Amino acid sequence: MSTIWIKHPLAIFTGNQSDARGGLVIQSGKIVELVPLGQTPTTPVDEIFDAKNLVILPGLINSHHHFYQTLTRAWAPVVNAPLFPWLKTLYPVWAKLNPEQLYLATQVALAELLMSGCTFAADHHYLFPQQLHDAIDIQVQAAESLGIRVMLTRGSMSLGEDQGGLPPQHTVQDMQTILLDSERLISKYHDRSADAMVNIALAPCSPFSVTQEIMRESAQLAQQHDVRLHTHLAETLDEEQFCLEKFGLRTVDYLDSVGWLNHRTWLAHGIHFNADEIRRLGAAQVGICHCPHSNMRLASGICPTVDLMQAGAKIGLGVDGSASGDASNLILEARQAMYLQRLKYGAEVITPELALGWVTKGSAQLLGRDQHLGEIAADFQADLAFYTLDDIKFSGSHDPVAALLLCGADRAEHVMVKGKWVVKDQQVLGLDMDKLLAEHRQAAKDLLAA
């Protein structure tokens, strides 16, 4: 691979206040040098890429998604439903998902993420009906076809309606099946190297869809294999009430009771915590993925991000599933996070730089990859997102980094993963987008017609 000098960007957000205004040098998939303003690289370079009209960010990192849900966006029966009725209506539809549909749904989700500037995406897949036992294997193939990094979580549902849970009985699995497949996937795919393209985590779906036993066993398995843990928690007041009625515990007490209150855990949503629960989450260094679009769409509430950070918790961002967030656009998610959190904490506190930190370094921390991803720094992976300010929406803007969020950037011009271009001139390389969208749209129709 050639050594490339990304030269003289219009602006650069490193995430660590380093001076890289002269650009950066990339070699063998890594950043090997930051070039201060007015200087030239000390590393010999083979190629120069002129970035004078580009704003450069670390590759954005999505720490919570449900790729398969791109097939059920904006479905009329649930457009105005809160979480529990929304889930009850959609579970039977999702249970019909077949391997071909999952592959297409995953490709669309990942392509949309890439086009927004995302280079690393976590997915929470918890649906394993009879026809879809190899769901995670299918997702690995889809990610490899596009050149994006993924954290694929082996989700699960084991508490069906017959046992007082929310999911239909035919969508749940027994504990032995879940644990054996979890071990298989860790052994087959989980890569611990600095440049890993695939990671695996364990992710029982939620308190209202899994048993306490599978939560405990998953925690023990994660500790044994040194992988991360993920679940939904404290998304709605309905969930809080469910935990009180089913387990006699509030959500954080429930988390503690099953061995999940520790640093390897990251939670999706994390809205309804009291002051003591926030203190305990911070002390345990639990991560929280804020999903503003989804939380607003389902009227779930506002994540107390700053309180959690001040207590010691880590905050990242996620687009959530495309049936609640309805889009897989991570730069727009950062913008929405900034604006929603300003309503709670004020404009002076929630800056564009803070929101960009959440969607880069913060999400990297949640996924356990912050030693190599989420910043522009020497020896970090060359995962980068490049944006232009040529569109009319940016005309008259003065601060290029702030303009990305304030003026509503929604698409990256170029994207690089591991030093390789995966998006050039707003096009995903090697992907026949027209063919993919035609097949995906038909798959969406077929799923609802089944």
Q: What is the DSSP string of 216-265?
A: HHHHHHHHHHT--EEEEES--HHHHHHHHHHHSS-HHHHHHHTT--STTE
Strand order in the sheet with 420-424: 11-12, 54-58, 384-388, 414-417, 420-424, 427-428
DSSP, residue by residue, 55-95: EEEEPEEE----GGGGGGTT-GGGTT--HHHHHHHHHHHHT
Helices and strands: H and E segment counts in the chain:
15, 18
Rounded Cα distance, 180 and 56, in Å = 42
Q: Residue 344 class from Cβ within 10 Å (0-12 exposed, 13-18 middle, 19+ buried)?
A: middle
Question: What b/e readout covers 352-388, taking b as 16+ CB neighbours within 10 angstroms?
Answer: bebbbbbbbbbbbbbbbbbebbbbbbeebbbbbbbbb
**pLDDT tens digits in sequence order for the chain, 450 residues long:** 799 999 999 999 999 999 999 999 999 999 999 999 999 999 999 999 999 999 999 999 999 999 999 999 999 999 999 999 999 999 999 999 999 999 999 999 999 999 999 999 999 999 999 999 999 999 999 999 999 999 999 999 999 988 888 888 888 999 999 999 999 999 999 999 999 999 999 999 999 999 999 999 999 999 999 999 999 999 999 999 999 999 999 999 999 999 999 999 999 999 999 999 999 999 999 999 999 999 999 999 999 999 999 999 999 999 999 888 899 999 999 999 999 999 999 999 999 999 999 999 999 999 999 999 999 999 999 999 999 999 999 999 999 999 999 999 999 999 999 999 999 999 999 999 999 999 999 999 999 998
* pTM (predicted TM-score): 0.98
393 with 408: CB under 8 angstroms? yes
88 with 166: CB under 8 angstroms? yes
Indicate the residue type of 79: V
Angle at 122 between CA 325 and CA 254, to 5 degrees: 85
Rounded Cα distance, 405 and 333, in Å = 9
427 with 433: CB under 8 angstroms? yes
Q: Which of 230, 273, 275 is nearest to 252 (CA)?
A: 273
Q: How many residues does the chain have?
A: 450
Tokens of 341: 């959190």
Residues 6 or more apart from 435 whose CB is under 8 A from it? none
Domains and CATH numbers, the chain: 4-58+380-426 (2.30.40.10), 67-366 (3.20.20.140)
